Amino acid sequence: MEMEPGGPSSKKVKSAAVNSRQEAQAPPTPASPATEAPCLDPAETPPAADEDDGRVDRISNLPDPILGEIVSLLRTKDGARTQILASRWRHIWRTAPLNLDCRRLPDEEHGLTGVVSRIISAHPGPGRRLRIPAYYLQDRAATVDAWLRSPALDQLQELEFCHVSNYRPRLLRPLAPPPASTFRFSPTLRVVTIGRCLLPDSTVQGLHLPQLKQLALERVSISEGTLCGLIARCPALECLLIYYSFGFQCARINSLSLISIGVRLRHRYLSDHETDEPQFRELIIENAPSLERLLRVDILDGLHVSIISAPKLETLGSLHGEMYLSSSILQVGVSSLLLAFSML
């Protein structure tokens, strides 16, 4: 652009005027490469994303493996609903690891069973998480076994047989062991919750869980020897919760990897069929070099705790009763250090 000769102030005024006229006549300047949004195929973008407010769907432009990881972390219903977001998402749910939480689906007699069966049949696998009410092991054992054998759950990482408190009529029924198909996932399981189950020696014997990091035993019947052996067969175990479990009086802990232990004893006033079983009353930490937290959920019943070797132990929460530290005896009545056990 040529400028007429003149003083510095004249040049500035004329340049500003010319620039102003050019800006008024020129079309809008496109966004710079640093802020420009990724270009998406219009067929893959929901119409509302471009037509309503000019924004683009950045999430849909992510690679399939990342989208699949996102979907696998959603609740069951929400994961399935992603199929209606755009054509880009329609195949993602079927290729993402299956996250199936039966507790968040309606349970109308056998309606839930049909829904879960259809979901498992429609999904090719692999599985990420399966969470079902523990009473299914009593009421629908064959159905649960069929689910566990499905390819949709191959390589399962998280398995929960969870206690459901509002099913009181079922509490008096004899506890059932988990189906044999449960432990086909032993090589890949990372998180396991076993609720209202019978764990006989024959079920646990020979079991090896090399990647398991979190184990919760809730209202489980298990012998002292079986419990000790189960812990020993989890070389990567970091968090252990023993909640209202019975069938043993003493739990002995020998683990190089355990970081957190949480316990809650059964109340003495409970009067169901489980009261004939031996009750958990003593915890002995024999060798736990990585243990940092030992947490008691409540202080209603006394727990006799012996700590022989736990050099990294820093937190004792809600302990009550007599506790032994090597050759020293301490009377402990701590109720406010930490009042909850958190599975990391």
Q: What are phi and psi of 159, to 5 degrees?
A: -135, 125
Residue 34: the pLDDT is 35
Name which residue leads in pLDDT, 325 or 83: 83
pLDDT band at 251 (very low <50, low <70, confident <90, very high): very high
Q: Please tell me the least confidently modeled range out of 16-20, 131-135, 196-200.
A: 16-20
Spatial distance between the Cα atoms of 306 and 321, rounded to a whole number of angstroms: 11
The lowest-confidence range among 82-91, 169-178, 271-280 is 82-91
Distance separating alpha carbons of residues 50 and 329, to the nearest angstrom: 71
**Cis-peptide into 126, omega within 30 deg:** yes
115-139, pLDDT tens digit by residue?
788 888 887 778 888 998 888 888 8
Q: What is the 3-state secondary structure (H, E, C) of 153-189?
A: HCCCCEEEEECCCCCHHHHHCCCECCCHHHHHHCCCC
pLDDT tens by residue, 24-36 = 444 444 443 333 3
| CB 312 within 8 Å of CB 292 | yes
With cut-offs at 50, 70 and 90, classify the pLDDT of residue 166.
Answer: low
> Cβ of 331: how many Cβ atoms within 10 Å?
8
SS3 77: helix
Which of these, 250, 265, 203, lies nearest to 230 by C-alpha position?
203
Q: Report which residue type is found at 28.
A: P
Name the more confident of 297 and 146: 146
- Kindly report, residue by residue over 78-111, the tens digit of the pLDDT: 655 565 556 666 666 666 778 888 766 555 555 6
* Mean pLDDT, rounded, of the chain: 72
Check residue 26 and give its pLDDT.
46
According to the model, what pLDDT value does residue 341 have?
Answer: 37
> In which band, very low, low, confident or very high, does the pLDDT at 293 lie, cut at 50, 70 and 90?
very high
* Residue 214 · residue 192 · CB < 8 Å: yes
Among residues 46, 39, 53, 153, the alpha carbon closest in space to that of 89 is found at 46
Q: In the numeric block, which tokens belong to residue 149?
A: 């054998």
Q: What is the pLDDT of residue 316?
A: 81
**pLDDT the model gives residue 67:** 64
The pair phi, psi for residue 283, each rounded to 5°, is: -125, 125
pTM assigned to the model? 0.69
Residue among 147, 161, 87, 74 at smallest CA distance from 114: 147
Residue of higher predicted confidence among 253 and 45:
253
Please state, as a whole number, how many other Cβ atoms lie within 10 Å of the Cβ of residue 197: 24
**Residues 302-308, mean pLDDT to the nearest whole number:** 87
Of 151-160, 295-304, 321-330, the range with the highest mean pLDDT is 151-160
Structure tokens at 300: 């209603």
